[in-house]
Amino acid sequence: MSSIFQSSSAAAPRLSHLTPAAAMPGGEVDIFGERLSSLASLTLPPPTVSDLDAPANQTPTTRAPKTLPEGAISGDLVLRQDGLISNSLHLRVAVPMADNLNPIANPVVDTDGTVYATFSGPRGEQTPVSIFRIGRDFQVRPYIRGITNASGLALGPDGHLYCSSRAEGVIYRIAPGGIISTYAEGLGIATGLAFDREGNLYVGDRSGTIFRIHPDPDFEATDRAPGDRPIFVFATLEPSISAYHLAFNDAGTLFVTGPTTSSNQRVHAIDRDGNTTTFFKGLGRAQGLAFDTDGNLYTAASFRGQRGVIRITPGSSPQASVAVAGNNLVGLAFLEDGCMTLATRDSLFHLDLGIEGRKLP
Protein backbone atom coordinates (compact mmCIF):
# COMPACT_ATOMS: atom_id res chain seq x y z
CA MET A 1 0.00 0.00 0.00
CA SER A 2 1.34 3.45 -0.84
CA SER A 3 0.09 7.02 -1.08
CA ILE A 4 1.14 10.00 -3.14
CA PHE A 5 0.63 13.37 -1.46
CA GLN A 6 0.78 16.65 -3.37
CA SER A 7 0.83 20.29 -2.36
CA SER A 8 0.39 23.36 -4.49
CA SER A 9 2.18 25.62 -2.02
CA ALA A 10 5.60 26.94 -3.03
CA ALA A 11 6.70 26.66 0.60
CA ALA A 12 6.19 22.91 0.74
CA PRO A 13 9.32 20.72 0.97
CA ARG A 14 10.61 19.46 -2.35
CA LEU A 15 12.31 16.04 -2.37
CA SER A 16 14.96 15.17 -4.97
CA HIS A 17 16.42 11.81 -3.93
CA LEU A 18 17.02 9.36 -1.07
CA THR A 19 20.34 7.92 0.10
CA PRO A 20 20.09 4.99 0.21
CA ALA A 21 16.81 4.15 -1.53
CA ALA A 22 16.42 0.95 0.53
CA ALA A 23 16.45 0.35 4.26
CA MET A 24 15.59 -1.93 7.15
CA PRO A 25 13.37 -0.76 10.02
CA GLY A 26 15.66 1.20 12.33
CA GLY A 27 17.95 2.22 9.47
CA GLU A 28 18.61 5.87 8.74
CA VAL A 29 17.84 7.36 5.34
CA ASP A 30 19.07 10.76 4.15
CA ILE A 31 16.38 12.73 2.33
CA PHE A 32 17.66 15.41 -0.05
CA GLY A 33 15.80 18.31 -1.58
CA GLU A 34 14.77 21.89 -0.92
CA ARG A 35 13.15 23.61 2.07
CA LEU A 36 13.74 20.64 4.36
CA SER A 37 13.88 20.56 8.14
CA SER A 38 14.94 17.80 10.48
CA LEU A 39 11.81 18.68 12.49
CA ALA A 40 9.58 17.62 9.61
CA SER A 41 7.54 14.45 10.08
CA LEU A 42 8.07 11.33 7.99
CA THR A 43 5.08 9.44 6.56
CA LEU A 44 5.40 5.93 5.17
CA PRO A 45 2.86 3.22 4.41
CA PRO A 46 0.95 1.79 6.18
CA PRO A 47 -1.07 4.82 7.35
CA THR A 48 -0.81 3.65 10.98
CA VAL A 49 2.94 4.30 10.84
CA SER A 50 3.28 8.05 10.41
CA ASP A 51 4.35 11.37 11.84
CA LEU A 52 7.72 10.27 13.18
CA ASP A 53 9.42 13.23 14.85
CA ALA A 54 13.05 13.48 13.78
CA PRO A 55 15.78 14.62 16.19
CA ALA A 56 16.16 18.37 16.41
CA ASN A 57 19.97 18.37 16.39
CA GLN A 58 20.23 19.15 12.68
CA THR A 59 18.28 21.64 10.58
CA PRO A 60 19.83 21.58 7.08
CA THR A 61 18.04 23.15 4.15
CA THR A 62 18.92 20.38 1.68
CA ARG A 63 19.22 17.20 3.81
CA ALA A 64 16.99 15.61 6.44
CA PRO A 65 18.13 12.34 8.09
CA LYS A 66 15.25 10.07 9.11
CA THR A 67 15.12 6.77 11.00
CA LEU A 68 12.56 4.29 9.69
CA PRO A 69 10.03 3.10 12.27
CA GLU A 70 9.16 -0.52 12.95
CA GLY A 71 6.26 -1.68 10.79
CA ALA A 72 7.13 0.45 7.76
CA ILE A 73 6.77 -1.21 4.37
CA SER A 74 7.92 -0.32 0.88
CA GLY A 75 6.05 2.59 -0.66
CA ASP A 76 5.99 6.31 -1.24
CA LEU A 77 7.73 8.49 1.33
CA VAL A 78 6.68 12.08 1.98
CA LEU A 79 7.62 14.81 4.45
CA ARG A 80 5.07 16.86 6.38
CA GLN A 81 6.34 20.23 7.46
CA ASP A 82 4.33 23.14 8.92
CA GLY A 83 1.13 21.62 7.59
CA LEU A 84 2.55 21.28 4.10
CA ILE A 85 3.27 18.03 2.27
CA SER A 86 6.15 17.29 -0.06
CA ASN A 87 6.19 15.31 -3.27
CA SER A 88 6.79 11.58 -2.87
CA LEU A 89 9.83 9.33 -3.41
CA HIS A 90 9.73 5.54 -3.47
CA LEU A 91 11.58 3.72 -0.67
CA ARG A 92 12.21 -0.04 -0.55
CA VAL A 93 11.87 -1.39 3.00
CA ALA A 94 12.94 -4.84 4.25
CA VAL A 95 10.29 -6.96 5.97
CA PRO A 96 10.85 -9.61 8.69
CA MET A 97 11.42 -13.09 7.34
CA ALA A 98 12.44 -15.14 10.42
CA ASP A 99 13.38 -14.42 14.01
CA ASN A 100 14.79 -16.23 17.05
CA LEU A 101 17.93 -17.13 15.10
CA ASN A 102 21.60 -16.50 15.82
CA PRO A 103 23.59 -16.39 12.56
CA ILE A 104 27.17 -15.13 12.57
CA ALA A 105 27.69 -15.20 8.79
CA ASN A 106 25.79 -15.34 5.50
CA PRO A 107 22.66 -17.41 5.13
CA VAL A 108 22.64 -19.56 1.99
CA VAL A 109 19.96 -20.20 -0.62
CA ASP A 110 19.46 -23.42 -2.57
CA THR A 111 18.13 -23.80 -6.11
CA ASP A 112 14.55 -24.10 -4.82
CA GLY A 113 14.77 -20.76 -3.04
CA THR A 114 14.97 -22.30 0.43
CA VAL A 115 17.10 -20.27 2.85
CA TYR A 116 19.33 -21.89 5.48
CA ALA A 117 20.54 -20.01 8.56
CA THR A 118 22.31 -21.03 11.75
CA PHE A 119 21.63 -20.69 15.43
CA SER A 120 25.25 -20.48 16.52
CA GLY A 121 24.94 -19.76 20.23
CA PRO A 122 27.67 -18.98 22.81
CA ARG A 123 30.98 -20.69 22.13
CA GLY A 124 31.14 -24.23 23.43
CA GLU A 125 27.39 -24.47 24.06
CA GLN A 126 25.19 -26.70 21.92
CA THR A 127 21.82 -25.26 20.98
CA PRO A 128 18.60 -27.29 20.49
CA VAL A 129 18.71 -26.58 16.73
CA SER A 130 21.88 -25.86 14.77
CA ILE A 131 20.46 -24.95 11.33
CA PHE A 132 17.00 -23.73 10.38
CA ARG A 133 15.35 -23.92 6.97
CA ILE A 134 13.10 -21.07 5.78
CA GLY A 135 10.81 -21.68 2.81
CA ARG A 136 9.42 -19.26 0.26
CA ASP A 137 6.37 -18.97 2.51
CA PHE A 138 8.65 -17.64 5.30
CA GLN A 139 7.85 -20.68 7.43
CA VAL A 140 10.79 -21.50 9.72
CA ARG A 141 11.50 -25.18 10.27
CA PRO A 142 14.25 -26.89 12.30
CA TYR A 143 16.60 -28.74 9.97
CA ILE A 144 19.83 -29.88 11.67
CA ARG A 145 20.66 -30.61 15.30
CA GLY A 146 23.88 -31.60 17.01
CA ILE A 147 26.45 -29.19 15.52
CA THR A 148 28.08 -27.12 18.24
CA ASN A 149 28.40 -23.45 17.27
CA ALA A 150 27.28 -23.85 13.66
CA SER A 151 29.07 -20.95 11.96
CA GLY A 152 29.60 -20.66 8.19
CA LEU A 153 27.39 -22.24 5.53
CA ALA A 154 27.97 -23.03 1.86
CA LEU A 155 26.26 -25.14 -0.78
CA GLY A 156 28.67 -27.44 -2.58
CA PRO A 157 28.65 -28.36 -6.28
CA ASP A 158 27.54 -31.83 -5.13
CA GLY A 159 24.27 -30.37 -3.85
CA HIS A 160 25.24 -30.93 -0.20
CA LEU A 161 25.14 -28.23 2.46
CA TYR A 162 28.44 -27.63 4.26
CA CYS A 163 28.64 -26.15 7.74
CA SER A 164 31.62 -25.13 9.88
CA SER A 165 31.85 -25.41 13.66
CA ARG A 166 34.01 -22.73 15.21
CA ALA A 167 34.11 -24.66 18.48
CA GLU A 168 35.35 -27.92 16.96
CA GLY A 169 37.32 -26.79 13.89
CA VAL A 170 35.25 -29.25 11.89
CA ILE A 171 33.43 -29.01 8.55
CA TYR A 172 30.24 -31.04 8.33
CA ARG A 173 28.63 -32.22 5.10
CA ILE A 174 24.84 -32.47 5.09
CA ALA A 175 23.08 -34.54 2.44
CA PRO A 176 19.79 -33.22 1.00
CA GLY A 177 17.90 -35.56 3.32
CA GLY A 178 19.57 -34.04 6.38
CA ILE A 179 22.10 -36.82 7.02
CA ILE A 180 25.27 -35.38 8.60
CA SER A 181 28.84 -36.60 8.09
CA THR A 182 32.21 -35.14 9.02
CA TYR A 183 33.98 -33.76 5.96
CA ALA A 184 37.23 -32.34 7.42
CA GLU A 185 38.84 -31.70 10.80
CA GLY A 186 41.63 -29.65 12.33
CA LEU A 187 40.64 -26.26 10.89
CA GLY A 188 41.14 -24.02 13.92
CA ILE A 189 38.29 -21.60 14.67
CA ALA A 190 36.52 -22.45 11.42
CA THR A 191 33.99 -19.86 10.26
CA GLY A 192 33.47 -18.66 6.66
CA LEU A 193 33.11 -21.13 3.76
CA ALA A 194 33.14 -20.75 -0.03
CA PHE A 195 33.52 -23.07 -3.04
CA ASP A 196 35.33 -22.16 -6.25
CA ARG A 197 34.28 -23.40 -9.68
CA GLU A 198 36.66 -26.37 -9.46
CA GLY A 199 34.95 -27.61 -6.30
CA ASN A 200 37.71 -26.61 -3.88
CA LEU A 201 36.38 -25.64 -0.47
CA TYR A 202 37.94 -22.63 1.26
CA VAL A 203 37.66 -22.29 5.02
CA GLY A 204 38.39 -19.19 7.07
CA ASP A 205 40.05 -19.90 10.42
CA ARG A 206 39.53 -16.65 12.29
CA SER A 207 42.91 -17.15 13.96
CA GLY A 208 44.44 -15.96 10.69
CA THR A 209 44.45 -18.69 8.03
CA ILE A 210 42.48 -19.45 4.88
CA PHE A 211 42.56 -23.19 4.18
CA ARG A 212 41.87 -24.91 0.85
CA ILE A 213 40.49 -28.46 0.62
CA HIS A 214 40.67 -30.15 -2.77
CA PRO A 215 37.84 -32.42 -3.90
CA ASP A 216 39.17 -35.97 -3.93
CA PRO A 217 36.88 -38.75 -5.26
CA ASP A 218 39.54 -41.33 -4.42
CA PHE A 219 39.51 -40.22 -0.79
CA GLU A 220 35.74 -40.62 -0.65
CA ALA A 221 36.05 -44.20 -1.89
CA THR A 222 38.35 -45.24 0.96
CA ASP A 223 37.80 -45.82 4.64
CA ARG A 224 40.19 -43.06 5.69
CA ALA A 225 39.08 -40.79 8.53
CA PRO A 226 38.11 -37.13 7.88
CA GLY A 227 41.17 -36.09 9.86
CA ASP A 228 43.33 -37.63 7.13
CA ARG A 229 41.86 -35.43 4.38
CA PRO A 230 44.60 -33.25 2.79
CA ILE A 231 44.25 -29.62 3.83
CA PHE A 232 46.42 -26.82 2.44
CA VAL A 233 47.18 -23.34 3.76
CA PHE A 234 46.03 -20.98 1.00
CA ALA A 235 46.66 -17.56 2.57
CA THR A 236 47.38 -15.89 5.91
CA LEU A 237 45.59 -12.78 7.17
CA GLU A 238 45.18 -10.76 10.34
CA PRO A 239 43.14 -12.62 13.00
CA SER A 240 39.47 -11.66 13.32
CA ILE A 241 37.60 -10.86 16.51
CA SER A 242 34.44 -12.43 15.13
CA ALA A 243 34.53 -14.51 11.95
CA TYR A 244 35.91 -14.69 8.46
CA HIS A 245 33.51 -14.16 5.54
CA LEU A 246 34.34 -15.42 2.05
CA ALA A 247 32.98 -14.95 -1.48
CA PHE A 248 34.26 -15.50 -5.03
CA ASN A 249 33.77 -13.24 -8.04
CA ASP A 250 33.43 -14.48 -11.62
CA ALA A 251 37.18 -14.17 -12.22
CA GLY A 252 37.91 -16.68 -9.47
CA THR A 253 39.33 -14.15 -6.99
CA LEU A 254 38.50 -14.87 -3.36
CA PHE A 255 37.33 -11.90 -1.30
CA VAL A 256 37.59 -12.02 2.47
CA THR A 257 36.50 -9.87 5.39
CA GLY A 258 37.12 -10.47 9.07
CA PRO A 259 36.12 -7.88 11.68
CA THR A 260 39.05 -6.52 13.66
CA THR A 261 39.43 -3.74 16.20
CA SER A 262 40.27 -1.32 13.36
CA SER A 263 37.69 1.23 12.18
CA ASN A 264 39.49 1.38 8.83
CA GLN A 265 39.05 -2.23 7.85
CA ARG A 266 40.05 -3.88 4.57
CA VAL A 267 38.36 -6.18 2.11
CA HIS A 268 41.08 -8.61 1.02
CA ALA A 269 41.37 -10.00 -2.51
CA ILE A 270 43.27 -13.28 -2.93
CA ASP A 271 44.22 -14.56 -6.37
CA ARG A 272 44.36 -18.21 -7.41
CA ASP A 273 47.96 -18.49 -6.23
CA GLY A 274 47.19 -17.22 -2.73
CA ASN A 275 48.62 -13.73 -3.23
CA THR A 276 46.74 -11.21 -1.08
CA THR A 277 46.04 -7.56 -1.93
CA THR A 278 43.72 -4.91 -0.53
CA PHE A 279 40.58 -4.50 -2.65
CA PHE A 280 39.07 -1.74 -0.51
CA LYS A 281 39.92 -0.02 2.75
CA GLY A 282 37.79 2.20 4.98
CA LEU A 283 35.00 0.02 6.39
CA GLY A 284 33.92 -0.63 9.96
CA ARG A 285 33.33 -4.21 11.10
CA ALA A 286 32.85 -5.59 7.58
CA GLN A 287 31.22 -9.02 7.60
CA GLY A 288 29.06 -10.99 5.14
CA LEU A 289 29.82 -10.79 1.40
CA ALA A 290 27.92 -11.31 -1.86
CA PHE A 291 28.33 -10.31 -5.53
CA ASP A 292 25.75 -9.18 -8.07
CA THR A 293 25.86 -10.09 -11.76
CA ASP A 294 27.61 -6.80 -12.60
CA GLY A 295 30.55 -7.66 -10.34
CA ASN A 296 29.65 -5.25 -7.53
CA LEU A 297 30.54 -6.49 -4.05
CA TYR A 298 28.08 -6.11 -1.17
CA THR A 299 29.17 -6.34 2.46
CA ALA A 300 27.48 -5.82 5.82
CA ALA A 301 29.51 -2.98 7.33
CA SER A 302 29.62 0.69 8.22
CA PHE A 303 31.02 3.36 5.91
CA ARG A 304 31.58 7.01 6.78
CA GLY A 305 29.31 6.76 9.78
CA GLN A 306 26.46 4.98 8.00
CA ARG A 307 25.59 1.36 8.72
CA GLY A 308 24.00 -1.24 6.51
CA VAL A 309 24.87 -3.03 3.28
CA ILE A 310 27.75 -1.31 1.50
CA ARG A 311 28.09 -1.68 -2.27
CA ILE A 312 31.64 -1.53 -3.64
CA THR A 313 31.99 -1.00 -7.38
CA PRO A 314 35.20 -2.52 -8.77
CA GLY A 315 37.68 -0.64 -10.92
CA SER A 316 41.09 0.98 -10.73
CA SER A 317 39.81 2.88 -7.69
CA PRO A 318 36.83 0.98 -6.20
CA GLN A 319 34.00 3.20 -4.99
CA ALA A 320 31.75 2.47 -2.01
CA SER A 321 28.22 3.61 -1.22
CA VAL A 322 25.42 2.55 1.11
CA ALA A 323 22.94 0.31 -0.72
CA VAL A 324 20.72 -0.56 2.26
CA ALA A 325 20.51 1.28 5.58
CA GLY A 326 20.32 -1.03 8.61
CA ASN A 327 21.82 -2.04 11.94
CA ASN A 328 23.36 -5.17 13.47
CA LEU A 329 23.91 -6.92 10.12
CA VAL A 330 26.20 -9.96 9.96
CA GLY A 331 25.43 -11.44 6.55
CA LEU A 332 23.42 -11.35 3.34
CA ALA A 333 22.54 -13.47 0.34
CA PHE A 334 20.80 -12.83 -2.97
CA LEU A 335 17.51 -14.57 -3.68
CA GLU A 336 15.69 -14.89 -6.97
CA ASP A 337 13.93 -12.05 -8.79
CA GLY A 338 16.20 -9.29 -7.53
CA CYS A 339 15.55 -9.92 -3.85
CA MET A 340 17.98 -10.26 -0.94
CA THR A 341 17.88 -11.79 2.51
CA LEU A 342 19.62 -9.83 5.26
CA ALA A 343 20.87 -11.50 8.44
CA THR A 344 21.11 -9.63 11.73
CA ARG A 345 22.33 -11.12 15.00
CA ASP A 346 18.94 -12.71 15.65
CA SER A 347 16.73 -12.38 12.55
CA LEU A 348 16.41 -12.59 8.79
CA PHE A 349 14.79 -9.91 6.64
CA HIS A 350 13.55 -10.01 3.05
CA LEU A 351 14.13 -7.07 0.71
CA ASP A 352 13.10 -6.55 -2.90
CA LEU A 353 16.23 -4.71 -3.98
CA GLY A 354 15.81 -5.03 -7.74
CA ILE A 355 19.35 -6.41 -8.14
CA GLU A 356 20.25 -9.84 -9.54
CA GLY A 357 22.82 -11.76 -7.54
CA ARG A 358 25.74 -13.73 -8.95
CA LYS A 359 24.99 -17.41 -9.35
CA LEU A 360 27.13 -19.52 -7.04
CA PRO A 361 29.20 -22.42 -8.43
The mean per-residue pLDDT over the stretch 281-307 comes to 97
Q: Which of 44-48, 193-197, 220-224 has the highest mean pLDDT?
A: 193-197
Domain 95-352 is of which CATH architecture?
Answer: 6 Propeller (2.120)
The mean per-residue pLDDT over the stretch 315-336 comes to 97
Confidence of residue 46 (pLDDT cuts 50, 70, 90): low
Distance CA 133, CA 31 (A): 37
Tell whether the model's pLDDT for residue 133 goes beyond 90. yes
Tell whether the model's pLDDT for residue 260 goes beyond 80. yes
Q: Do domains 14-93 and 95-352 have the same CATH topology?
A: no
- Torsion, CA 179, CA 131, CA 148, CA 331, rounded to 10: 130
Tell whether the model's pLDDT for residue 48 goes beyond 60. no
What does the pLDDT read at residue 10? 52
The mean per-residue pLDDT over the stretch 321-348 comes to 97
Burial class (CB in 10 A: 0-12, 13-18, 19+), 162: buried
Spans of all domains in the chain: 14-93, 95-352
Confidence of residue 44 (pLDDT cuts 50, 70, 90): confident
pLDDT tens digit sequence for 12-43: 889 999 999 999 999 999 999 988 877 678 77
What does the pLDDT read at residue 33? 92
More reliable by pLDDT, 222 or 279: 279
Distance CA 120, CA 250 (A): 30
CB atoms within 10 A of CB 141: 11
pTM of the model: 0.91
- For 2, 170, 345, the CA distances from 329, given in Å and listed in that order, are 27, 25, 7
What does the pLDDT read at residue 251? 96
Sheet containing 95-98: which strands, arranged edge to edge?
A: 95-98, 348-352, 339-344, 329-334
Q: Which of 61-75, 178-192, 208-222 has the highest mean pLDDT?
A: 178-192
In this structure, of 66-80, 164-178, 300-314, the range with the lowest mean pLDDT score is 66-80
Q: Which of 1.10.3470, 2.20.28, 2.60.40, 1.20.120 is the CATH number of 14-93? A: 2.60.40
pLDDT tens digit sequence for 147-165: 999 999 999 999 999 999 9
Tell whether the model's pLDDT for residue 51 goes beyond 50. no
